[in-house]
Structure 1
Amino acid sequence: MSSLYPSLRSAVTDVVNDVSSGRFTSISPPFPSALTPIPRDQLVDRLQSVWSSLSANGDAQQSSSSRHVDLLRSTLELVGKDVVIQPIVSGELEPQPDASDEQTCRFQTALQDRLDIILTLYEVAAESLSGVQALEPGAIFIPLLEELVELIPVETWRDLWAYVETRAKRFTKDMPASRGKALPLLRIINSFLRFLPRTPEDLIFRGRVHQFASSVISVADKSAINMRGDYNDIKTTWDESDTSQSSTLNASAEKEEDGDVKMQSDVKEEVKASTETEFYSTLWSLQHYFAYPPSLDGPAVQSNPGEPARTPFETFKAKTEFVLPKLFEQTQKEKEMMGKDAEVISRKRKRSEGQSDASARGFFHPRFLTGKRLFDHELTDSSFRRQILVQYFILFQFLLNLTPSTAAKQAFTGGMPKTFIVDQENEDWIKSKVAEIKEELRKMIPDGPMFEETVLSIITRERYYAQWKNDSCPEGVFEVPPLDKAVAKKAAEQWRKRSAPPSQYPYKLGSRSLSRLWNRGFTGIDQLKGWRSPATAVSLDEEIKRIEADDEDDKAMGKEPSAEEAALNKDRKTRLTWRGLRQASRTDLRHFSALAQKRDLHILVDLVNEQNERMAVATATDANEATEVGTDDEAVDVKVGSSEPPGMVMEVESKVKLESEPQAADP
């Protein structure tokens, strides 16, 4: 066994040198961000020959006995540290935060190749000594990664985390929950999340870490569950001040030490300032109860002389009764300032803010400051008031689990003593305050109902989560039972029918009527059953006139139509007018300028009729003139052919020409 460590170290070092000699030369600029790993089969062949040679010498075979398993594991751990950790400590592999792409690629290539060789060595050793749980590859390899994280700078973690994601299936196989190799892996995940900067560029990387944790660690793993009820250790400090009044202020005046009299306005200002100071101190003092609920338990104590002794829970109730109405007043003031259009204004403001900064689409959770000068400004901010009310929600949800009906079922009470029980009176008070806060959240702008619904859904899920922890985190809650075979067959049959190709459409020409016409040899429009020429504007106008004439006849006879008949006639005339105007728009669009004041079909038809009459008269006149001109021409021809002297014929021709030419108008 004494020769196993140096022999194994020398053999693995030779493999590393052989692999890395020509590894980086095959990578040329631009240097890739994701490195191509060495094929596992190639490494397995090399390392199996190394391990077989050592087994043949008897070193590894001797170590396979139960008493030497720990020694063999220690040997593998030392070889892993010598190959991966020692080169970084000695400076052989030097990670540089501000290195160039070539230097970063060279470092990551050498580091990841060494990690692959060691991981493959652990797998080969576990296969040769099957059944030895202590030599499980992940149980030895994950502590090596944990030590490596502390040596390299944060800037190189992204590339290292890419390696962890791609090899996770190899070293997390059959990983037990809350013990074994799961604990060092959880520490690695927490180290990444703890030291990563909280910048927008690192949000995606943090999401990758959380996604990896949810994929390799079971949801029922108790290692990440706060079973003991530990609370946040961040303490809130504010300006303490004495809010007690030494004497009662009169409504009219108060005497000072020098005998002067304070006016009523001065007294009111002092009362207002005192109330604001008391509200400031009381509001911020509630953070002590929100951050540490066990502070609600304790004996009755007299805080101020002359006042009755009160328990911490009674003090909390008194402060709540003082603070909540003040917060509710701020919402009412905000709505009064915005007026009736409060919701519209809030939507416009939200939309404009989203347009100005499109990248900021998530929620921003500020840590509010506790300065007195900022207090008035913070009260006007709805997000500040919402934070206080949500803290109330969380605390009340915790207290409602400590009622007599539910306290016995609570295995973990979050540090609260078993003697602290919320009686019926306090339970009714808590439920009434929860109802008031719900109503207030709905009233707050912007998006009050949506915010209230979101908070309630989170609180409801938290209640189920707390009950799941009290039941010792049963993993069966998250298991979905398999479907019944009959249900599966029915779903498969329905899916088969839906996924089947549709049947061919029976009508090739688009509809049944068109297909029938085509099949019967359609040759003309006269074959259409019941065909008639479309109505014209004149015929539609005559139909409107008949409706109006019927109405006039009824009125003359003293018969008044009912409201339903009048509405029906009006609707018919409106439809007929629209149809008539649509028909006339194709032929008589030039007359539509006369319908600017009123869309009346009668006016349009009258204009068309007048135009038709003028055109008919003009046509008749032209025909008459043409007839007269033709008669005169015949007479001239006869005279020209007669025996009249030429002078007489020329005189007749000139007269006919003058009569046929249009005469100029008289001035």
Structure 2
Amino acid sequence: MSSAGIESVDNFTAVFKKLLARARDIKTNGGIEPALTMQDFEGGIEEIGHQSQGSINRKYAAIETACRNIFYDLLASTSIEDPSFSEVWNLFDILSILSDLENCEPSLLFWLVEELLDTQTIDGCRILFDYLDSRRERITAKHFKQKNLVILRSCNELLRRLSRAEDTVFCGRVFIFLFQSFPLGDRSSVNLRGEYHVENVTVYEDWPSKTEAKAEDGMELDQKERTSEGEKDVNKPEGKSILEQQKDATEQTVLSSKTVKFDAQEVKPQESTPDMDTLYPIFWSLQQNFSTPTRLFEETNLQEFRSGLDVTMRKFKEVHQELLARGTSKLPDDNKRGVKRKRNGQEDELSSSFNPKYLTSRDLFDLEVSDLAFRRHILVQALILVDFLLSLTPKAKKKLEHTSNKSVLYSYTLNEEHVKWASTMRNDIATYLQQGVEGKFYYRMVDTVLSRDKNWAHWKAEGCPPIERDPVSAEDFAEAENGARGACANKRIRPMPLGSLDLKFLSGGSDVNLMEKLKDPERYSIPSAESFRRPIADADFDVVMARTDEEKQSAIDAKASKLWRTLRIASKSKLNLFDKIDDSNKLDALFEPEGDENKEKAEVNGTDENQEQLIKEVTPLPTDQEEKPVIESGVDRIRGIH
């Protein structure tokens, strides 16, 4: 592209070359850093704004033509890996400044970035993304609406070129750049129509099971014998569907697990897992449901998926137990693999991140099932699909009745049988993923991602309403700051706080002092236990005369309160009478007169005196020196008599 003799293009070309020369003086070592600012050019940027007096469109077109001429010359003469390629980074910085000042097309910078991505290898694209990552906040701060489509288109084209297995880290860098550039509520990354990746078709070998292979061998032998006898070949086996294979595998495993016992008890057959040959087609047929979940709306496909996932889950559990028994179970990080081709200075980064694309060869199936990372990968897929089925329950669909995006709402409703199976299967998968050394951490990460994905799905069903909040104005911020400062400041205690009650009335007049009346012992003395005898009787009467359940319950509660207070007061003076209380609702033993108690004491004392008189009559009175031993012996004799 040339200026074709256009004066404005030549003038802008001269200005850009002068700015690039100034940039070379500032960045003598080349490279991406540091970023150039408007102050670095000492007024050279303003010169572009005064070059043309025509319309804005003519000015923008002339600037674009001049920039493209310089850009193409630099691409033709330098490589992106050379230090001299810093001229391109300087040109991009100048265009970013002009874009913010509205002196050129806002998306001109990303047009050139898009073309640069198309002309570079994957290694060159990594270097370009080093520049984009370092300038992201600056180049997306202003006029983003004019730039977002170009950014999205260029990044998507780059992602199509990258391998998800070989360039996993670079793919992540591209996605992070998009996520950080676009607002959180932007619809560009939302699948509003609910489309599925139906082009992702899993191709696997048509591998017969061992039972079918033996049957085919027998048929071929039988066919040869009949052919030799002149009979027609009419026993050619027909192919079976996946559902028929699953039924045959289930019947075979159930029959093989039955045992004959002569006991009277009934023995239920235990389900066992099929062999790898039988599992191979059943297992890989699940991928079609993972890529197109709406297939499960047909009852036949859903039954096929259920039986296939059940068989797969049983096989995974069996393999896990076998590996634990042999002590060969390994975590995914124990055997990290690198890439085939090492790149400059990035061996460590890429060798620590390997994202496999699993192969479907029958020869590799046994090894893949033995790999913990492979089993987790498949079960996470199953967990996503089971959550999708659980979102079709009547209870879950009722929460989305008010939503507006009908394209992601399905009329199909899961019945109770399938809901019970899906809930049980989800619990089994969750339990299985938590096994192992890092199992709980792995499942927590997966569960967190899926729970957040449910919120995004609900937001999408509502039509993606705006979730951004306007920034707080300077006036509101200043007002809130002053309020917080006033609330946290030290305050003096007022002599009469607002809303407080004046207590001067307690001092009373000259004759009466109300504070002394409050000190009257009658106000705080503990009542006697006998004072509750009449209130308890009244409470019993209220219980009997209650007309409603509420009145009866209120009377029972009042009686219980009085009984408790009576027992608590009596425990200090009549604790010896608690043994006579047979019923906790009747405390008559505590209210008996104390005369009866004294009478009992007198009877006991009289009995003791009679015993002493009897001792004196039976035993002669000894001398003073022998009185004590004789009395003791007399008492012993009396006790012996009794």
Could you say which TM-score interval applies, normalised by the shorter chain?
0.5 to 0.7
Where do residues 647-658 of structure 1 align in structure 2 (5 Å cutoff)? none
Matched, 1:216 2:181: yes
Q: 1:76 to 1:117 in 2, by over 3 A?
A: farther
Deviates more, 1:408-417 or 1:11-20: 408-417
What is the CA–CA distance in structure 1 between the aligned matches of 2:428 and 2:153, rounded to whole Å?
43
TM-score by length of 2: 0.54
Matched, 1:172 2:140: yes
Q: CA deviation at 1:96?
A: 2.5
What is the CA–CA distance in structure 1 between the aligned matches of 2:161 and 2:392, rounded to whole Å?
37
Q: 1:412 to 1:385 in 2, by over 3 A?
A: farther
* AA aligned opposite 1:228: R
Where do residues 256-655 of structure 1 align in structure 2 (5 Å cutoff)? 257=222, 275-298=275-298, 311-338=300-327, 364-407=354-397, 409=400, 418-442=410-434, 444-476=435-467
Q: 1:164 to 1:284 in 2, by over 3 A?
A: closer
Matched, 1:107 2:75: no
Q: 1:17 to 1:437 in 2, by over 3 A?
A: closer
Matched, 1:228 2:206: no
* AA aligned opposite 2:193: R
* AA aligned opposite 2:439: G
What is the CA–CA distance in structure 2 between the aligned matches of 1:363 and 1:162, rounded to whole Å?
19
The number of equivalent residue pairs is 426
SS at match of 2:50: helix
Instruction: State the match for 2:616 in structure 1.
Output: none
Picking from 53, 68, 79, the partner of 1:96 is 79
Q: CA deviation at 1:222?
A: 0.8
Instruction: State the match for 2:634 in structure 1.
Output: none
* AA aligned opposite 1:320: L
Sequence identity percentage: 21
Q: CA deviation at 1:49?
A: 4.0
* AA aligned opposite 1:105: P
SS at match of 2:52: helix
What is the CA–CA distance in structure 1 between the aligned matches of 2:45 and 2:22, rounded to whole Å?
19
Q: Contact between 2:168 and 2:353, CA under 8 Å: does it hold in 1?
A: no
Q: 1:210 to 1:242 in 2, by over 3 A?
A: closer
Q: CA deviation at 1:169?
A: 5.0
Q: CA deviation at 1:172?
A: 2.8
SS at match of 1:229: coil
* AA aligned opposite 2:278: E
Cα displacement string for residues 449-491 of structure 1 (whole angstroms, at most 9, x for unaligned residues) = 3333332222222222212222233443889999987995699
Q: 1:493 to 1:315 in 2, by over 3 A?
A: farther
What is the CA–CA distance in structure 2 between the aligned matches of 1:235 and 1:351, rounded to whole Å?
29
Q: CA deviation at 1:8?
A: 2.6
List gaps (5 residues or longer) in structure 2: 227-251, 257-271, 339-346, 491-642
Cα displacement string for residues 285-320 of structure 1 (whole angstroms, at most 9, x for unaligned residues) = 11111121122234xxxxxxxxxxx62112222323
Q: Contact between 2:206 and 2:281, CA under 8 Å: does it hold in 1?
A: yes
Q: Contact between 1:220 and 1:473, CA under 8 Å: does it hold in 2?
A: yes
Instruction: State the match for 2:69 in structure 1.
Output: 86
* AA aligned opposite 1:188: S
Q: CA deviation at 1:281?
A: 0.9
Q: CA deviation at 1:282?
A: 0.5
What is the CA–CA distance in structure 2 between the aligned matches of 1:380 and 1:87, rounded to whole Å?
57
Q: Contact between 2:430 and 2:443, CA under 8 Å: does it hold in 1?
A: yes
* AA aligned opposite 2:460: K
Instruction: State the match for 2:8 in structure 1.
Output: 8
Q: Contact between 1:327 and 1:385, CA under 8 Å: does it hold in 2?
A: yes
Q: CA deviation at 1:213?
A: 3.1
Q: 1:434 to 1:445 in 2, by over 3 A?
A: same
* AA aligned opposite 1:8: S
Q: CA deviation at 1:223?
A: 0.3
Q: Contact between 1:44 and 1:120, CA under 8 Å: does it hold in 2?
A: no
TM-score by length of 1: 0.53
What is the CA–CA distance in structure 2 between the aligned matches of 1:439 and 1:273, rounded to whole Å?
19
Q: Contact between 1:401 and 1:407, CA under 8 Å: does it hold in 2?
A: yes
What is the CA–CA distance in structure 2 between the aligned matches of 1:35 and 1:13, rounded to whole Å?
24
Instruction: State the match for 1:188 in structure 2.
Output: 154
Cα displacement string for residues 531-556 of structure 1 (whole angstroms, at most 9, x for unaligned residues) = xxxxxxxxxxxxxxxxxxxxxxxxxx
What is the CA–CA distance in structure 2 between the aligned matches of 1:105 and 1:492, rounded to whole Å?
57
Q: CA deviation at 1:231?
A: 2.9
Q: 1:154 to 1:9 in 2, by over 3 A?
A: farther
Cα displacement string for residues 67-106 of structure 1 (whole angstroms, at most 9, x for unaligned residues) = xxxxx33x34433442232345467752326x6xxxx222
Q: 1:423 to 1:227 in 2, by over 3 A?
A: same
What is the CA–CA distance in structure 1 between the aligned matches of 2:349 and 2:156, rounded to whole Å?
28
Q: 1:150 to 1:371 in 2, by over 3 A?
A: closer
What is the CA–CA distance in structure 1 between the aligned matches of 2:142 and 2:97, rounded to whole Å?
17
Q: Contact between 1:5 and 1:79, CA under 8 Å: does it hold in 2?
A: no
What is the CA–CA distance in structure 2 between the aligned matches of 1:490 and 1:369, rounded to whole Å?
68
Deviates more, 1:462-471 or 1:189-198: 189-198
SS at match of 1:318: helix
Instruction: State the match for 1:519 in structure 2.
Output: none
What is the CA–CA distance in structure 2 between the aligned matches of 1:351 and 1:182, rounded to whole Å?
38
Q: CA deviation at 1:14?
A: 1.6
Q: 1:9 to 1:152 in 2, by over 3 A?
A: farther
Q: CA deviation at 1:143?
A: 3.2
Q: 1:13 to 1:193 in 2, by over 3 A?
A: same
SS at match of 2:106: helix
Q: CA deviation at 1:190?
A: 3.3
Q: Contact between 2:193 and 2:408, CA under 8 Å: does it hold in 1?
A: no
What is the CA–CA distance in structure 2 between the aligned matches of 1:400 and 1:379, rounded to whole Å?
27
* AA aligned opposite 1:9: V
